[in-house]
Structure 1
């Protein structure tokens, strides 16, 4: 059996050699625990004593042993501490080494890797391979799993062998299914996808059907939507023919993506050259993946088209209302005049009549009737004016005028949405019955609607507007209302699609209930949720903690120990946060080069020599062994993509870089995974560097933050949305970025400008393997009560900066009256529904385990859960649990001024990083030139790679300065400037290249003929 390539040779060397300690870590790790003191005392030979301490230190740092490899500096350090001479040759038997390792492992609660562990790990590796994890990621997961099981990490060859066995076994299984299940007729159909004449149709278009089905349009033009629909119908036909085989293959979403993306990246010849089994496997995955992808694109197009129509109708109604304001004001004035001239005098006359004492009741009644009859015409006028005013003051979307406008705009919407609705294939299991009946009726009648069309999905008012008694049924209005309700259903989770990546039901994204029930204990262990299994214990702990928090906060108020909290006259309160005292340190920019600019290419090259981050760029086809492009091509691709110059322009303005080489490299090497790993490589290097860690507020806790930044998109994009505040009449996206207190940018993702940022908070905290956040801050856009609850169960402290903090309700387990009797000023408003949480606790744990085990991203779950009706029990229970954690945070926030200052400071860092990102993305008017979400993420990750490289270069430059300063006072002054300033500074970086004013370069290169130009006249 061949062992596949899993890690880069340098990574293998790093794994197989002892850690390289600096002076700080050498003191930290090369200290023997008290539990091993007796073993040290019984060791007679100095070599044995030294090796015991060094082995122990290596194990504490890496959870593994390294044979007889020991670094000379570590041996010398331990020998000096023991006050013994360092032996030239270590005189140590193999038995002594093994005995020491067993003692060290036992001391830290670990055991040696055994045969039973091999089978356990093999089963888990098989699952990861089946789920589509890359071999390098499987390796990292295997290492993490061994640590979680308290197993001494095995050597690289053993893990590589186990992984290779499962990869090759899965490949053989897929080949067997292909050979047994794909008929000769189906093979011919698949091969025809590669034939140019199969779908050429016209002589002008000689592209193959496969090529035509690769890229859906991102445009909302009716012609482009129809083209997408035609392609999707073709894919759907193929998918239905091959679905039995695709189901047998049982490919995970990641596997589908991997095989399909290989087809998307490759040309026809590269696909045709593959072995039969591999070619058919890739084409089948392509059909399934593209079927789901096209359906998602069509649903996105439908949702945006409907929303645009509703927004346009609402704005038209508001404009109409604004233009008619003078008429409305005149009507209102006439109404007031009528009241004064008719109603009020009549009421006064009736009142006077009632006061007459010497008149009998019959006479009084006659006088009142006479007074009323004299004002009959005025009364009818007032009733008419009252009706007008009531109609005008109604809600815009409940107004007859609004529905008239909506009806007029229906035709424009139908051109975009009607064909999509005719072909929608919704999941029948969860759709609302009345809406499903209307959809089926629309599809059966091919969009030909009559008065008998189902109306059960409409509100009473909408039905009234449809059935006003006019002879002709308002078909256009019915269709736009149907489309609107379908849109609401898709967004709210009552309309789902099984053949979709984005719009399946919530349960499809969670760990299945059946699998959860069968493997619950094992899954809880893997997700490190064992301590959360018992809800009564959780409840008792949180109840005690919350009562204590109310007591401590109110006791400080009572004792006047919180001068920053003030109560207003209406019993509201305000908390202020004093600014931290500014230091007198010199500006950090003074220490960077001022008489020269460092080219961006030089920055990337210098950093790559210190941190070989280019090793993380692996060819998309992981099993391919071929030479990589030279480093310069990678640097050009990173700059061209990250700075929004574009690959074509970058090749044109660069020397020694070919356009074909550059495009080929970007195509095969610039995947989101590679770019994230390259960023992680730099961040991990800085994570272990001495200077960045001096910026931590505490060495025991790491504070991180995240925030979104808006960017316009210059091409059609279904991931972009309107936001007049940021883009005017254009569309844009949000780049949601994460930073820690050392200014390390460890995650980013591109989302629609209309999406709530809170759904993506947990993605950034869990998606990276380098930065382990202890406390995370966002602004109010990143906050929901559900995020509070889930982050708590995942082991993070969530500390957002909330607007109008006093408006957020406090909750408790005890009744409010109990706290009132204790004289508390800060009181809970509502009571926690513990029964709701307890009834859904198992589903809450399943939800959190799904996220923790990376079965599905948190953002995907949050988007589907948040879109559901608020009556969804899991939504309600998670929100109720989050109320507890939110209350604890608010009470702590009120008490702890240092926490408030730290949150402000950390959020300032991400805002400063936003300005940095804008400086990097200097080209294309600082707009995305990519339409697809994945390509936008590639551009954003290239930009972040440039930012992290500049940050790394700055740290290296300042560290080098510290080593060259002979004076302690100078070094201390620089350190103070580093702590007081921001390492994110870029004025010394040349992003734009150099201008060549040589005589040769200033010659006309395009042949402008000035005499002819000046003589030209328009006919």
Structure 2
């Protein structure tokens, strides 16, 4: 995919940069720096060093492609990814008018018809005085931005729309302003970045380390009915009933209770197609190396891909008692497992297609193709290609090794079950939050449900962070009062509790005085106060 996009861009980008002279506002300067660097690469033969690249414009996903991780050499740069990323950034910046071409009407300077620099410098003070405005926006914006974004995020995550959020007497919560924020602030990219910041803050809290180190994650699907006609849904009588369609929100949860990523899947396509996508695409600071799922997320070819990319796949297997174990050596003695190892792995299939197997791993590692697309390439029409069979044989080896541990290691089974129970608790909380319109998705275009479920994922992490912060405060206060709090009890706490949260009614975004002053709420309930927030 990356190579195809690069080949297309390489045909027109040099002429584009030669023909047009781009300018920018301060927000677009990183993009112009990147374009100037790309332009300087023409005719260059020496390797590009990482320290040379102006990388401010790169988001985390592109950064991983431009600066590939080991085993690639430290400081190396993937030139094709850099050029494609720069071109995409230029397109985005042009649409946002952060970069422009002076003299053009549609793509020209958005401020060309306003007061010029000299006239504005002379008029600024007078204008501010006459309009009762400050030179800096702090006063007029104080409280607005946070309240607006929080309000729209609540409307999306609860599926109730903006009507219960609107407050006619509060300018920041007027209907027009809420719709404007929804259109300009809530999109997949901004939600992903906000989620990454939440997770990074959450993982640094001392209490979180009692729950896990972030190396383990789980993946599971949450089903939503779509009662409208849309191409982005599919049928499944088991989950949606007869003659109804729906989608799956395939989401990923770390062992620290923070959500890492979410993927919208039409209908209930095989979860195994998307399980690696979540690991490779998530942009948080956590880097899990082991992932668990239910039985329907596991397959031999997924085991093989996980092993190639250096991950441990640890699914909960409902049919583990009847599963077949494979042996690498037909004459080996596997002791008590001998009766279960009835079939032999085809090692020749692996060795004869090893270079193609490595190419698959390299394509995934570099971001050239998504894991969900690789699975379709390796098993078109449900029948594996020769390379697909090689990956499958490798997966049989890894699956057999995992099953032998799963049979005998009670701690492994307990760890897997605990993590999946946490995921189920998260889904229960998600249903409580997403209560509006019968919990159904009613937006026809793919971006609508994606943004809405992205807002739901962010809201889930907000609840987890809020609970964690106050759990930590309560534990500290109890210990300061001489109350013994056992570490093993702390490890069993769950920040997915919600009995104290009121999900219904009209929503208020006014902060209590102590919170405005930078303090936490009191953990002591005033006499006669409500038990919900």
Is the TM-score greater than 0.5? yes
Shift of 1:797: 0.8
Shift of 1:670: 1.7
Shift of 1:968: 6.5
Query: Which is helix-richer, 1 or 2?
Result: 1
Q: In 2, are the aligned partners of 1:739 and 1:746 still within 8 Å (CA)?
A: yes
**Alignment deviations for residues 952-981 of structure 1 (CA, whole Å, 9 cap, x no partner):** 0111112222333354752515x5543223
Aligned twin of 1:670? 186
Aligned twin of 2:3? none
Change (3 A) 1:260 1:720: farther
Shift of 1:666: 2.0
Aligned twin of 1:739? 253
Alpha-carbon separation, structure 1, partners of 2:399 and 2:484: 43
**1:139-288 alignment to 2 at 5 Å?**
149-150=73-74, 259=91
Select the residue among 504, 509, 525 that pairs with 1:992. 504
Aligned twin of 2:161? 646
Q: Secondary structure at the match of 2:218?
A: strand
**Alignment deviations for residues 280-339 of structure 1 (CA, whole Å, 9 cap, x no partner):** 89xxxxxxxxxxxxxxxxxxxxxxxxxxxxxxxxxxxxxxxxxxxxxxxxxxxxxxxxxx
Aligned twin of 2:442? 929
How many residues are matched?
A: 434
Aligned twin of 2:387? 874
Aligned twin of 1:661? 177
Aligned twin of 1:121? 50
Shift of 1:950: 0.9
**1:592-603 alignment to 2 at 5 Å?**
none
Select the residue among 466, 477, 494 that pairs with 1:982. 494
Alpha-carbon separation, structure 1, partners of 2:103 and 2:164: 39
Q: Secondary structure at the match of 1:861?
A: helix
Q: In 1, are the aligned partners of 2:327 and 2:345 still within 8 Å (CA)?
A: yes
**1:608-627 alignment to 2 at 5 Å?**
none
Aligned twin of 2:216? 703
What is the Cα-based RMSD across aligned positions, in Å? 4.1
Select the residue among 907, 918, 933 that pairs with 2:431. 918
Aligned twin of 2:268? 754
Aligned twin of 1:789? 304
Select the residue among 945, 965, 990 that pairs with 2:458. 945
Aligned twin of 1:770? 285
Alpha-carbon separation, structure 2, partners of 1:941 and 1:830: 44
Q: In 2, are the aligned partners of 1:870 and 1:876 still within 8 Å (CA)?
A: no
Q: Secondary structure at the match of 2:483?
A: helix
Shift of 1:849: 1.7
Aligned twin of 2:342? 829
Change (3 A) 1:146 1:866: closer
TM-score scaled by length of structure 1: 0.39
**Alignment deviations for residues 905-942 of structure 1 (CA, whole Å, 9 cap, x no partner):** 11111011110100110111111122222221211110
Select the residue among 675, 679, 691 that pairs with 2:195. 679
Alpha-carbon separation, structure 2, partners of 1:258 and 1:748: 27
Q: Secondary structure at the match of 2:379?
A: helix
TM-score scaled by length of structure 2: 0.71
Aligned twin of 2:137? none
Change (3 A) 1:149 1:875: closer
Alpha-carbon separation, structure 1, partners of 2:221 and 2:233: 14
**Alignment deviations for residues 570-627 of structure 1 (CA, whole Å, 9 cap, x no partner):** xxxxxxxxxxxxxxxxxxxxxxxxxxxxxxxxxxxxxxxxxxxxxxxxxxxxxxxx99
Aligned twin of 1:854? 367
Shift of 1:853: 1.8
**Alignment deviations for residues 510-533 of structure 1 (CA, whole Å, 9 cap, x no partner):** xxxxxxxxxxxxxxxxxxxxxxxx
Aligned twin of 1:433? none
Alpha-carbon separation, structure 2, partners of 1:654 and 1:139: 45
Q: Secondary structure at the match of 1:737?
A: strand
Q: In 2, are the aligned partners of 1:785 and 1:879 still within 8 Å (CA)?
A: yes
Shift of 1:734: 0.7
Alpha-carbon separation, structure 1, partners of 2:90 and 2:322: 48
Select the residue among 320, 334, 345 that pairs with 1:805. 320
Q: Secondary structure at the match of 2:248?
A: strand
Select the residue among 417, 434, 457 that pairs with 1:904. 417
Shift of 1:805: 1.2
Alpha-carbon separation, structure 2, partners of 1:961 and 1:280: 56
Alpha-carbon separation, structure 1, partners of 2:355 and 2:383: 19
Q: In 2, are the aligned partners of 1:708 and 1:735 still within 8 Å (CA)?
A: yes
Change (3 A) 1:690 1:276: same
Aligned twin of 1:569? none
Alpha-carbon separation, structure 2, partners of 1:844 and 1:673: 32
Select the residue among 806, 819, 831 that pairs with 2:333. 819
**Alignment deviations for residues 776-802 of structure 1 (CA, whole Å, 9 cap, x no partner):** 110011111111111112111111011
Shift of 1:995: 9.2
Q: In 1, are the aligned partners of 2:222 and 2:248 still within 8 Å (CA)?
A: yes
Shift of 1:881: 1.1
Aligned twin of 1:689? 205
**Alignment deviations for residues 161-182 of structure 1 (CA, whole Å, 9 cap, x no partner):** xx9xx99xx7xxxxxxxxxxxx
Shift of 1:2: 8.0
**Alignment deviations for residues 183-230 of structure 1 (CA, whole Å, 9 cap, x no partner):** xxxxxxxxxxxxxxxxxxxxxxxxxxxxxxxxxxxxxxxxxxxxxxxx
Stretches of structure 1 that go unaligned for 5 or more consecutive residues are 9-115, 154-158, 171-250, 282-625, 997-1019
**1:74-113 alignment to 2 at 5 Å?**
none
Shift of 1:134: 4.0
Q: Secondary structure at the match of 1:819?
A: coil
Alpha-carbon separation, structure 2, partners of 1:117 and 1:917: 52
Q: In 2, are the aligned partners of 1:629 and 1:665 still within 8 Å (CA)?
A: no
Alpha-carbon separation, structure 1, partners of 2:326 and 2:229: 46
Q: In 2, are the aligned partners of 1:640 and 1:650 still within 8 Å (CA)?
A: yes
**1:562-601 alignment to 2 at 5 Å?**
none
Q: In 2, are the aligned partners of 1:636 and 1:662 still within 8 Å (CA)?
A: yes
Structure ranking higher on relative contact order (CA contacts 8 Å, 6+ apart): 2
Alpha-carbon separation, structure 2, partners of 1:855 and 1:818: 40
Alpha-carbon separation, structure 2, partners of 1:823 and 1:744: 40
**1:140-539 alignment to 2 at 5 Å?**
149-150=73-74, 259=91
Alpha-carbon separation, structure 1, partners of 2:299 and 2:26: 45
Shift of 1:747: 1.2
Q: In 2, are the aligned partners of 1:6 and 1:136 still within 8 Å (CA)?
A: no
Aligned twin of 2:468? 955
Q: Secondary structure at the match of 2:200?
A: helix
Change (3 A) 1:823 1:663: closer
Q: Secondary structure at the match of 1:972?
A: coil
Stretches of structure 2 that go unaligned for 5 or more consecutive residues are 1-22, 31-44, 109-140, 509-533
Alpha-carbon separation, structure 2, partners of 1:140 and 1:278: 37
Shift of 1:823: 7.4
Select the residue among 730, 733, 738 that pairs with 2:244. 730
Alpha-carbon separation, structure 2, partners of 1:847 and 1:654: 59
Aligned twin of 1:631? 146
Alpha-carbon separation, structure 2, partners of 1:970 and 1:919: 33
